[in-house]
Amino acid sequence: MFRLATPALMLMSTPVLAHSGPHMHPHANDPMWIQLLVGTLVVAALGYLVWTRQ
């Protein structure tokens, strides 16, 4: 499966798909990283609880 997916993934990541100008997706300067950090910490805490209760 990997050998079949590799050419397709390479074609999808070509510089032709890169764009300039205004676009609607977040960058590092947006405050979205706070939500990702909190979500990661919650998942890590739940994983730790599950791991220690076994």
Tens-binned pLDDT, residue by residue, of the chain (54 aa): 667 777 777 766 666 556 666 666 666 666 777 888 899 999 999 999 999 987
pLDDT value of residue 22: 67
Asked if residue 48 belongs to a domain, the reply is yes
Which range of residues forms the domain containing residue 53?
A: 30-54
Which residue matches tokens 């220690």? 52
Into how many domains does the chain fold?
Answer: 1
Domain assignment present for 15: no
